[in-house]
A and B are shown apart, each in its own frame.
Chain A
Amino acid sequence: MLKMRILEARRWLSRSFSNILHSEPLRVCVVGSGPAGCYTAEKMLKARQEAQVDIIDRLPTPFGLVRSGVAPDHPETKIVVNQFSRVAQHERCSFFGNVTLGSSISLAELRKLYHVVVLAYGAESDRSLGIPGENLKGILSAREFVWWYNGHPDGRNLDPDLKSTDTAVIFGQGNVALDVARILLRPTTELATTDIASHALATLEESSIRVVYLVGRRGPAQAACTAKELREVLGIHNLDISIQESDLLLTPADEEELKNNRIHRRIFELLSKAATSRPRHAGQRQLRFVFFRKPDSFLESKDSTGHVSGVRIEKTVLKGVGPGKQIAVGTGEFEDIKCGMVLKSIGYKSVPVDGLPFDHKKGIVPNERGRVLSDTSDTAVLEEGLYVCGWLKRGPTGIVATNLYCAEETVSSILEDLEKGVLISSTAVPKSGRDGLLKLLHDRNVRIVSFNDWEKIDSEERRLGSLRNKPREKLATWNELLTATSKGIDNFKR
């Protein structure tokens, strides 16, 4: 008995010494390599010198929406990938692409391998309108359309028909709505020198769309876009902008809202100026802002069954439901807009995975400052070691920089939990982290794309782009992307 005790004691002592000498790293896995994931990884690496961070992404290409969401004609917004690249190349960080949470590896397995798992995989689905006719051909979500023109491999086969109609209706007036309107209406010569996907450019060059409606349920005082984007769309060369002056009348409730909100005030001013300043020229492309209209149903074409031919919209009035908050209520007055294409830009939605608590109403993971909660009730408990960041945490709003603050909050929750012992310490329970992940993925024949591999894709895209006076020519299919990773000398390593 005594011998055993001595043995145990010696084992304990040597483990403690080795822990002091080779401090057991804190093993962190970040799921998603967009802004939320990269900022989180960066802050974790900085906050804990012993942290080892692995970033996984289901795509072979990193950077999330910076690559697949930001519009091709907004290259300055993409400069942040330089910073994110430095994070991925940090000596204590690794990027593993082509690894999908839920199929390559389960959440439960990930939590076994890592002390801290941060889910930052954003929102890859859409809110639906839930109205009749929504499944007619020609009705797309803005997200799919954006994936398509940004060369996302899952958007390659969208094949939108831009030749059978001259009118597109967009529901929503946020920045994504402005993006898709702009891509539809901008002269393609201007798009030809961006990193827009070639298949999209070719389709747009043959597009017959000349009129785009941007339809919002509420008024110009509530429009969700931001000034820079609005200013840009209003400044497009040869684009006729139409805004009804009657829509610009403000109620006292509107005035109150605007008084306290700089962003909305400036948007309203921009819209007012645009309503009065533009002379109409025939033959120009048109962008028509429609306010106080909500979609009622979609109309089916008589000539082309199964295809949308118009949208029935209902006039709305605003009703106050709380301080500074008004919602749109139908008035029973209807009208139709003829169109052959509809884009729904009413919000993205996150997708839950097995084992992940989810708030289906809000479309996010229930959390307390980034700490995942077991459910949405008042008696929820913390899910140890599980955190969220980005759209999965806050909902699908904000810009790249919004994730900076979001990541700060989540990381400070993690650090607090480590200090308070709420989160099991790495020395108490060592986990296999990267080694365990690689072994598991190897056993499942998952073809991991490393950051080096991405750099091969990157240089190939830039090389192809230089042949066409574009910053890059995106490889837009899974096959092309994975093939590009196998070029080069370290092919044999896999």
Chain B
Amino acid sequence: MLNLNSRLPRIGASITKHFFTRNYTSMCKAGYTRSTRNYCLQPSFQQNWFTNLYKGAMFEKHNFLSTTTSSSTAESGSEQKETISVTFVDKDGEEKLLKVPIGMSMLEAAHQNDIELEGACEGSLACSTCHVIVMDVDYYNKLDDPTDEENDMLDLAFGLTETYAGHV
């Protein structure tokens, strides 16, 4: 298991490569054998899954890291919304594990669970107080390119790096 706190800089939120690779793969496998909604074979769906996962995914870069794992709530094959497990780690190392429905923004998920993330405009793409740094370049590349509007906000973001994914 990765020692997140030592690996990651104090400033910055990340989705660790380890978690991601492992669980994305297992998700894929599950999807492949189990249902017709095949996460791996339909590139557009796959793209959407990522985009939705991070839609509005924002981490207050001073305080939080987040890792995600998939959950197996799809077994029943019911219409129930898929959730993923998200772990928020604050700057003191305290972890909070949440189940977040796919499609919900990280900012909403955090606020609904009393996790303090800055979000001055409450997700309307009008400020730069919440943003994501994706630590893994491969996963960064899987995301859609930031739109002009997102880039405009990123211009103003504190601590901008090359892998800022803004209002992903």
Contacts and interface: CB of A to CB of B under 8 A. Distances in A.
Contact of A82 (B122, B125, B126): B122
Interface string B118-161: 10111011111100000000000000000011011101101010
For the residues of B in contact with A, the DSSP-based class is: loop
Given A226-B155, A263-B155, A401 B120 contact: yes
B158 A77 contact: no
A263 B157 CA distance: 11
A231 B148 CA distance: 9
A38 to B, nearest CB: 11
B155 A74 contact: no
A77 B148 contact: no
For the residues of A in contact with B, the DSSP-based class is: helix
Interface residues of A, number: 19
Contacts of A74: 126
B156 A399 contact: yes
Contacts of B153: 228
A83 B120 contact: yes
B121 A76 contact: yes
Contacts of B124: 76, 79
A79 B149 contact: no
Contacts of A263: 155-156
A381 interface: no
B126 A405 contact: no
Interface string B91-108: 000000000000000000
B9 to A, nearest CB: 17
A226 B120 contact: no
Given A399-B156, A401-B156, A76 B125 contact: yes
A400 interface: yes
A277 to B, nearest CB: 15
A49 B129 CA distance: 25
A463 B48 CA distance: 41
B152 A80 contact: no
Contacts of A401: 120, 127-129, 156, 158
A80 B128 CA distance: 12
Interface of B: 118, 120-122, 124-129, 148-149, 151-153, 155-156, 158, 160
28 contacts: A74-B126, A76-B121, A77-B126, A79-B120, A79-B122, A79-B124, A79-B126, A80-B120, A80-B127, A83-B120, A226-B156, A227-B151, A227-B152, A227-B155, A228-B152, A231-B148, A231-B152, A262-B160, A263-B156, A266-B152, A266-B155, A399-B156, A400-B120, A401-B120, A401-B128, A401-B129, A401-B158, A405-B158
Interface of A: 74, 76-77, 79-80, 82-83, 226-228, 231, 262-263, 266, 399-401, 404-405
